Chains A and B, each alone.
Chain A
Amino acid sequence: MGHLTRRGFVGSAALLAAPAIVRSAFAADTVKLGCLFSSSGTMANIEGRLNHVVRMAADEINGRGGVNGRRIEVLTSDPASDWPLYAQIGRQMLQQERVAALFGCWTSVSRKSVLPVVEQNDGLLFYPLHFEGDENSKNVVYVNSPPASSVLPAVDYLMGPDGVGAKRFFMIGSDYVWPRTINKQLKGYWKSKGIPESAWREEYVPFGFSNFQTLVNQVRSFASQPGGQPIVVLTVVGSSIPDFLREFANQGIAATDVPILGLDMVEADLEGLDTGQLVGHLNCWAYLQAAKGERNQRFLADWAAYVKAKGVPFSADTVIDPMVSAYDSVHLWALAAAKAGSFAVPEVRKAFAGLSFADPSGYTLTMTGENNYVSRGVFIGSVNERRGFDVLWQSPDAPKPVPFSPYG
């Protein structure tokens, strides 16, 4: 290391802070894929992992000789949890870098901001999160489940005799489109079941909100009112999730008193928490790390090996649904491109019909020509002492996705 000159110092600082697209070595016989996942801001801790898993999937495909005779090159970026920046970087990737497909977005607000960009440029965005549905663009592949095949089965379970027979609902969400739409649909669903409006409450907090004392006080007083078993439907995102869980446990509410159904809660949100007091709270996804089967064991081992080999700054033994969904996305795209024998978006899109892929969850993902939705299995997980989820219930097969909700 020579001396540290002031210019060198400033230069390295600029390098560390630069949010621009990180470009890997360029070669003519490659096809480019772009990632839109934040490595900074409130979503960094969970979104950041997805960049690496996309690279891992690409490495896997390259190891088998690539797609249509070309190697995959992955471009990553940092939209910094800043929603308009997703659109800006997405446009840059489509127009300047000519990527064959985009893989990205966690929050629905970021997807909504990229949507016009992929539609204008006729690009393809693979979106790996379960979401509120009510959208059907030919330029977005919805790799994860709409509410009808994730949230509603979980709420049904909690309301049914196997769950807790839930009668009253406290909805807490971050203030943006996903929680508001999900809650609107849930209210419509409950109305259709004849549940009166007095049986639920709805509260929203700003992004990155962490001072949950008053809200947890309100949950306790809601729970003590008569009218039947209360549950919390939690749709806060990002760093608000662990902060909420911590306050909930500290105020002494157990899952057997008031269970939380955390719709965006993943294994990574439990990092840094003492989950002994949180055992029994629920989430619902199309994949859980505890999923049985050899395919999952292999995926977990592959990820651990990849983290070790590449020095990835995330936990080697935590795998979350969106990671698997992002991994599935790359494979689905590669299968479609190979089937079409082309990287042109209209050809690839046509090839989606009838595609199937056996993914780590144990279910076989299928796509039809009807829309760009992917049919996935449903898991309900229960928090355990070891900062993970046990599989409490899983669907017998992968239900057919319903893009538009009839409730609300």
Chain B
Amino acid sequence: MNRVRAVLAALAMLALPALPAAAAPLERAALAADLCGDAAAQARGAEGVVRAAADASAEDLRAAGHLLAALAERRLACGSAGALLLDRAGAPDGQDALTGATRPAAEARAPVLGLRQRALVETARAAVALLTAESVAARAAGLTTLERRAGAVPDAVLERARDAESDPGLRASIAGAAQAAALSSADPEKRRTAVAAVAAAPSGASLARLRALRGEPAAASDPAFARALDAGIASVERAVRIGDGLAILYNALSFASILFMAAVGLAIIFGLMGVINLAQGEFIMLGAYATWGVQEAFRHVAPGLLDLYLIAAIPVAFGATALVGIAVEALVLRHLYRRPLMSLLATWAVSLFLVNLVRVAVGTQNLQFAMPPYVSGGVPLYADFVVTWNRLFAILFAAATLALTLVVLRRTPLGLDIRAVTQNRDMAACLGLPTRRIDRLAFGLGSGLAGLAGVALCPIYSVNPGMGSGFVIDAFMVVVLGGVGSLAGTLVAALGIGGANVLIEPLSGAVAAKVIVLVGIILFLQRRPEGLFAARRRR
């Protein structure tokens, strides 16, 4: 009985791939009409391209690719006289899809793709790109998309791409994808290689694919296959666990780097002067606005170098916020050093003033940032672990800030003065240190560091006048837990709070995670009010 079924299955398998070969060749007029049609016609058109991809000429495929791209980007205008390709969405005229003649697009309608059709169009475009794109990168991107839609492409397309591929690395990848596609092949040998190929690229999705196979009759009837399957599942499970662990580590590090950036300036100001600076969040906001200003300047003066604006913004944001900080110190705080409560209220007023000043001057909308490639997107590194560039940028930025702050505090005369005043203000004054001037410079340094945080946050958070308010509380938590005035404490506290948040969040949700961490900090501070690292002070 089983044998009969196996034979039948084998016959069915043989019959299925035969179908695409019999499909009609790629007719441009028919494709254009389909893509201009209703949802079912669009789906038929896109699927037709995928089926024909194994045999169609490269020229036909390229033409189909142009049509599909135009449809996906809403540059396809459909009128009574046929389809038009526009240069950009909403253009007044375009080229006829068949003749190439320029015609006006006045009464033509640009169809909107539904999600299901969009997925099919994406698959078809990826198949066309894999077969015809000029650059290796574009072909590889096509392969990545096809791999995500397991089973959507006939084997013949992958085989054609593999045979035509000139780049050896990419050819090996295509061969791997073709092997993986044979998971439900009739040939036991092919199935075992397919399992190995799927297991070689571990992810949550490949785990689900392999697990689904375990219930199939083939796994029960063929012990060698079952063994290969179990081994494959075990290795993918292990890899996914490692990937998830790396993701937790990365998330913790990235959250910690944001906390550290927000808190480091505060640690210096609070440690040195005992001033609770509630405007610290607004200094972060000013840093982000300075970054935006640099971007706009680049746009006007050197549009070719626009990608470098984030780097150029580093000194500008530091300088601008440091100047604002020094101005605030000179105009407001200088008079209030002996009255900590008053200085707290004064910095709060400063924060309100800055928010409203920016709101009146620039507006409340989120600012538009051009994201250079080094801070947008990400790359899958291992299993399900994706490194996102904007977070990596923040982590490296925080590390560089830490190093620079350490150098300033440990290796420069200003740093020596700051440390002296922090440890014993009166004695430092007696020895002839101008403590007021040092206060002012330190306040400028602390504000400038907040401005740097603004640069690092631009690629991660929305930038608007109110963005700073969320950071003050978190920053204070870090500073108080770390121990007042201790850079090492700030670092360890940021890592601890970031890590705790990331570990608790999946278990109990983001709301509870915040509460639990807060309660934890309160309990810790009751045992150890001076924080993790108490600075040595002489009193």
Give A residues with C-beta under 8 Å from B: 13, 16-17, 39-42, 44-45, 48, 158, 161-165, 175, 203-206, 208-211, 213-215, 217-218, 220-221, 223-226, 239, 242-243, 246-247, 249-252, 254-257, 259, 268, 271-272, 274, 277, 279-280, 282, 313-315, 382, 384-386, 390-392
How far does the alpha carbon of A407 sit from the alpha carbon of B354 in the complex, in Å?
47
Pair A259/B386 contact, Cβ less than 8 Å:
no
Give B residues with C-beta under 8 Å from A: 39, 72-74, 89, 112-116, 118-119, 122, 148, 203-205, 207-208, 211-212, 244, 247, 251, 254-255, 258, 349, 352-353, 355-357, 359-360, 362-369, 371, 376-378, 380, 384, 386, 388-391, 460-467, 469-470, 501-502, 505-506, 509-511, 514
Closest Cβ–Cβ distance, residue B376 to chain A (whole Å): 6
Residue in A48, A254, A277, A392 whose CB lies within 8 Å of B364: A48
Contact A210-B461, Cβ < 8 Å, known A204-B509, A274-B376: yes
Closest Cβ–Cβ distance, residue B355 to chain A (whole Å): 7
Closest Cβ–Cβ distance, residue A245 to chain B (whole Å): 10
Closest Cβ–Cβ distance, residue A229 to chain B (whole Å): 9
Closest Cβ–Cβ distance, residue A48 to chain B (whole Å): 5
Contact A204-B353, Cβ < 8 Å, known A40-B466, A217-B247, A220-B384: no
Closest Cβ–Cβ distance, residue B91 to chain A (whole Å): 13
Pair A163/B205 contact, Cβ less than 8 Å:
no
Pair A44/B207 contact, Cβ less than 8 Å:
no
Pair B208/A224 contact, Cβ less than 8 Å:
yes
Residues of B within 8 A of A45 (CB): 364-366, 464
Residue in B118, B360, B501 whose CB lies within 8 Å of A256: B118
Pair B204/A225 contact, Cβ less than 8 Å:
yes
Pair B377/A224 contact, Cβ less than 8 Å:
no
How far does the alpha carbon of A165 sit from the alpha carbon of B258 in the complex, in Å?
39
Closest Cβ–Cβ distance, residue A233 to chain B (whole Å): 15
Pair B365/A252 contact, Cβ less than 8 Å:
no
Residues of B within 8 A of A272 (CB): 365-369, 462-463
Closest to A221 in B: B204
Contact A13-B366, Cβ < 8 Å, known A40-B466, A226-B211, A250-B389: no
Pair A314/B363 contact, Cβ less than 8 Å:
yes
Pair B510/A252 contact, Cβ less than 8 Å:
no
Contact A385-B247, Cβ < 8 Å, known A16-B356, A250-B389, A392-B112: no
Q: List 30 A-B contacts (CB under 8 A).
A: A13-B349, A16-B356, A17-B352, A39-B359, A41-B466, A41-B469, A44-B359, A44-B464, A158-B115, A164-B115, A203-B510, A209-B510, A213-B388, A214-B502, A215-B505, A220-B384, A226-B208, A239-B366, A239-B461, A239-B462, A239-B467, A252-B380, A254-B122, A271-B368, A272-B366, A274-B371, A274-B376, A279-B72, A384-B74, A392-B112
How far does the alpha carbon of A220 sit from the alpha carbon of B470 in the complex, in Å?
27
Closest Cβ–Cβ distance, residue B511 to chain A (whole Å): 5
Residues of B within 8 A of A211 (CB): 255, 258, 501
Residues of A within 8 A of B510 (CB): 203-206, 209, 214-215
Residues of A within 8 A of B357 (CB): 16
How far does the alpha carbon of A242 sit from the alpha carbon of B160 in the complex, in Å?
42
How far does the alpha carbon of A213 sit from the alpha carbon of B256 in the complex, in Å?
13
How far does the alpha carbon of A337 sit from the alpha carbon of B216 in the complex, in Å?
70
Pair B506/A175 contact, Cβ less than 8 Å:
no
Pair B377/A277 contact, Cβ less than 8 Å:
yes
Pair A271/B114 contact, Cβ less than 8 Å:
no
How far does the alpha carbon of A44 sit from the alpha carbon of B205 in the complex, in Å?
40
Closest Cβ–Cβ distance, residue B345 to chain A (whole Å): 13
How far does the alpha carbon of A271 sit from the alpha carbon of B514 in the complex, in Å?
29
- Additional pairs, 9, CB under 8 Å, beyond known A226-B208, A252-B377, A271-B366: A16-B353, A16-B360, A210-B462, A224-B384, A225-B208, A251-B378, A256-B122, A272-B462, A313-B364
How far does the alpha carbon of A143 sit from the alpha carbon of B262 in the complex, in Å?
42
Residues of B within 8 A of A13 (CB): 349, 353
Residues of A within 8 A of B116 (CB): 161-165
